[in-house]
Structure 1
């Protein structure tokens, strides 16, 4: 979050986005509104340049393969049902020009063009246009009852920077720490080193002044301890997101920045490349849990799933690997 909050007063602060229930739902919008939607200026945007995510990876001969793996003792009825199911799945995923398709996904920018990156899709059998008419009747109601109504911040929620509570301050500090690490391309750091950065310390000291008055009496902890605690909590948030990690379970060990750890990137890429050469992984790639297990064995047993997800996403953005289906990855 590098922007000045005062510069974007028209926007709801990003720390409060989670209070809007629409934030957690798939919105059904007109294409015109999707194209005209304004992007937020409060968070950085990755345009995904150089990476094209396909909605489907499919072998055209897959539908022609005979059924295998069935117990010879199974009845012919079961075999026939399996064959019909396979044919139905093939027909549902075989798309042609003019087909009506239901797509669910998220909006992203690719080469300065807005597009929807599909997460799920299926062909709609709608010869009488009943599904399309139903959607046309549903959308005006959604706009009238939900989308056209301005979001109001709950009264108990903070409405100004000076009213942020300690939790929100920690989230803001974690974002600033993340920006500092990435902008300066820091590979490893100790918490004490962050506590020497003036602008971060200034932000970390704000929760001290925003807590209740009992922290201001003589029996309260010194400000330095509260600042140290704020940094500890902020780093913990970044660990949970997979942005930073430690190679051991000691809290005093050095922190590694996931984006800058080339050794971890190379180990992960090596695992995917090596296993994709094996026959059992050649068709659909390596599963996420298999990759995580191998990397833990060769790099660090304390590596979290979030860090592994972060690394795989980074390798995919760099076009080193590609996700063939949910949870499976293949190297180029």
Structure 2
């Protein structure tokens, strides 16, 4: 593991003023990516995309062309993402929620059907199930915070399994599983089931601002998703959706995809530095042996106090899931509830500079 410079990590001088943290000198430090400098400011945000000159140039090129809607850039982005994930087809859409919605429809889920999903997950999963007119059957999560496969009822029409925070999830034994790789878009996931989805939201591993994609090998699944993702120029009428991606989003996404290996490497180095620095603290740390490091999530019964302590030192840490689904629908899911009570997500992203990493480490250690 490439270690951070300890002198840099622990020798940075911070002062607290009006509840916000400042460096004594407003000098420039650089991230690991050329051309991207960051001025030390008042707050280390929880999430931050890396967007450089190449992304700006790609978007400007499309804007100058006058072809803003779905076109050649989108088609190229679809091919490149499908190849990256090892799938035959990729269909770009307007969001991860749209991708989930269309994937459920492609698997034949309809009104009155039931879909198994983890209670501890982004609200997009429940939203997509309801958009398709189906009912959610909530399941508890396993130690990796993924859907517990043994909890999936056999009578469900489908299931959604998400790779939470970048850790690999186990897939249930069911013919109709949507594999959600939005938090593990690293080239190793997305081939375990007939259909997979991802998100390119602003905080994801790569971003197009908003956006998503559906992946499949079956031409019938591809045809369904491509048919339903746009209502333009149709000879018949059925419910279709305004789910297309724009070409300037796709152009940005293509640049981001080329950067992804470096992004993943940087994330893994930061996570390894955190794990090393926190090894002697009373925290439950993530197992990084098979992890995309989308989030760096620790567990402590003192979560709220740690979050407040970090905020006072200018660090934004968050509950990684705002509310588990059973808080909306009811039911008892002890693993999901424990995760909601104890998990805290620390800043981890490619644009996080070494000085900021050092401040996070020093601040967490000071709490304990």
The structure with higher relative contact order (CA 8 Å, sep 6+) is 2
TM-score by length of 1: 0.24
Higher helix share: 1
TM-score by length of 2: 0.22
Which has more radius of gyration?
1
